[in-house]
Chains A and B, each alone.
Chain A
Amino acid sequence: MSVLVFAEVSEGKFKKNTLEVVSYGKKLAEQMGTHLTAFTINAETPSELASYGADKIVTLTNDALSSFDAQAIAALTAQIAQKEDAKVLIINSSANGAYLAPIIAGKLAAGYASNVVELPISTEPFVVKRKAFSNKAFQHTEISTDIKIIGLAKNAFGVFETPGKGEEETFSPELKRTGVTSISVQKASGKISIADAEIVVSGGRGLKGPEHWGLIEDLAAVLNAATACSKPVSDLGWRPHNEHVGQTGKPVASNLYIAIGVSGAIQHVAGINASKVKVVINTDPEAPFFKVADYGIVGDAFEVVPELIQKLQQFKTQNS
């Protein structure tokens, strides 16, 4: 028996949500009285995973997997799960993790619970708490199959350093071609993505027009944050579609979410609700967003935000 985690690599390195998955896997392995195995592809320093609890690290290095072939990787992960007699598999909720997990579930005929936020409430029966109804509620889900798959929600569990044995094992399987070919990747260079950002600064219709977006971009710059927008702003074409956050846009699970000139419609709030701290700046004291915010300023963004940027710059200088 073992707990197996898929440790996703991005440009050779482990992102925060991979370390969260390993941390979770370690705690779960301890709870179940077993050890933790991590499977990782093309990692620069796989041994790093030992600091977060990996007892065994299965490494695969192959240029053919430099793009994320989900079907191929699912087959390899299923192979390792069987070899390691893994009873629980844990996968992150990045775009790649969410692509991979259901394919593995299909291959292993395994029950899969996505968007899980905590360690299991019980292991017999195996019950986990997960997000449902677009972040408006939690569901308790029992997984009753022999092999269980958990998709760990982003920024829900935390990163914990626990020493694991860190025994490395190379895996050199024969790679089979799959039917999906990667042609190219388009990434906004130099910009922090909403998916990875610790802080997200978002603008709504209250900013009155795309020409005022310098405020959002400058505030994001001083905070090293990603920029985002509400659905009306995206529909109006003021900002690109990939900045739309909300129920049918991108989900936000950052540490801090600052919404400027956004009223806080239910669908917008649902999409950003997994953010830990929400700050709302709006001229309208009745804006529904204030009901769910942690901190709020009723004021004119065109006056408040420039001052906030200036004071944050001073704060950053003082604290560096």
Chain B
Amino acid sequence: MKILVCISHVPDTTSKINFTADNAAFDTNGVQYIINPYDEFVLAKAMHLKEELGASITVINVGTAETESSLRKAMAIGADEAIRINAKAIDGFFVAQQIAEIAKDNNYDLIFAGRESIDYNGGMVPGILATLLDCNFINACVGLELENTTVTAQREIDGGSETLQADFPLVIAGQKGLTEEKDLRIPNMRGIMMARKKALTVLEPIATESKTGSKGFEKPQENAACKMVAADDVQGLIDLLHNEAKVI
């Protein structure tokens, strides 16, 4: 079984978010980068399938040279090989097109991606990728079981979950729940040593027209200071919520 796992290289979850002087771009100064948390859940699931069923895992990222640390970490966790498409990730459609170009000739049975990245929150790469490949697609996947080439998966819906079935080839947009938090993988020394011998191939992107462009950023307005209410004045809070905030 061949599995492709698409990963993003994103600022750490606790990062303070700042922009360059003209608000044109994210200020990477002093920011630690990690594998997108949503992608960690799908990578752990792929590893589980590899261990249970002997799948091969290719991990792919669209990005410039600094993303290789995340690709190496994924290989240290157990991915067999990595591909970096040497291009800045302009937008989600661009990323999907680049990955589709690789996937179309490689007959992956399962393609995993995180549902969204915690930096741009586009939430579109898996869906566009599946559509470009004319392939089945399940979004917001919180559970997955395999029987031969049939997948039974749960997707999160508003207020519950839905159980779906689909055959290979299938694109899965995963999130927390696809694997348990406690089953997330941390690279060990052996994994890190072995990763050094694994192939990390850099490929040039295909030329495409960009469909969206970032014009700049803004930070939210500073909140007014919190209005404190005394612990023995619960009625005061109710009055504020009713008369001032008008939420009850």
Question: Which A residues contact B (CB, under 8 angstroms)?
Answer: 10, 67-68, 70-71, 74, 94-96, 98-99, 101-103, 105-107, 109-115, 127, 129, 131-134, 136-145, 151, 178-188, 191-193, 195-196, 198-199, 223, 235, 241-242, 244, 247-249, 255-256, 266-267, 270, 276-277, 279-280, 290-300, 303-304, 307-308, 311-312, 315
Contacts and interface: CB of A to CB of B under 8 A. Distances in A.
Given A114-B122, A290-B226, A296-B229, 16 more contacts: A98-B140, A99-B140, A102-B125, A102-B131, A105-B131, A132-B217, A137-B219, A143-B211, A144-B213, A180-B136, A180-B138, A185-B161, A187-B160, A191-B159, A247-B118, A297-B230
A255 to B, nearest CB: 5
A165 B92 CA distance: 36
A102 B128 contact: yes
B189 interface: no
Contacts of B132: 106
Nearest to A309: B234
Given A183-B152, A241-B177, A133 B17 contact: yes
Contact of A106 (B37, B96, B227): B96
A103 B131 contact: yes
Contacts of B140: 95, 98-99
A77 B232 CA distance: 55
Nearest to B152: A183
Contacts of A110: 211
A110 B91 CA distance: 12
Contacts of B127: 99, 101-103, 105-106
Given A103-B131, A277-B241, A295 B176 contact: no
Given A183-B165, A256-B247, A139 B120 contact: yes
B167 interface: yes
Nearest to A131: B121
B226 A137 contact: no
B217 A138 contact: yes
A311 B234 contact: yes
Nearest to A121: B215
A303 B127 CA distance: 48
Nearest to B127: A102
Given A106-B127, A248-B37, A293-B226, A193 B159 contact: yes
A244 B37 CA distance: 15
Query: A99, A199, A241, A270 — which one has the most chain B CB atoms within 10 A of its CB?
Result: A99
Interface of B is mostly: mixed
Nearest to B160: A187
A293 to B, nearest CB: 4
Given A102-B124, A179-B136, A291 B226 contact: yes
Nearest to B120: A132
A180 B240 CA distance: 49
Contacts of B129: 106
A185 to B, nearest CB: 5
A182 B237 contact: no
Nearest to A122: B215
B196 interface: no
B118 A193 contact: no
B231 interface: yes
6 contacts: A111-B91, A132-B217, A137-B19, A292-B223, A294-B245, A295-B227
Nearest to B227: A295
Contact of A186 (B121, B161, B182, B237): B161
A70 B128 CA distance: 13
B88 interface: no
A311 B242 CA distance: 13
Contact of A96 (B125, B157, B229): B157
A71 B136 contact: yes
Given A142-B215, A299-B231, A99 B139 contact: yes
A178 B219 CA distance: 42
A59 B99 CA distance: 36
B38 to A, nearest CB: 7
Given A105-B124, A181-B166, A256-B241, A140 B215 contact: yes
B163 A315 contact: no
Interface in B232-248: 234-235, 237-238, 240-242, 245, 247-248
A296 B228 CA distance: 5
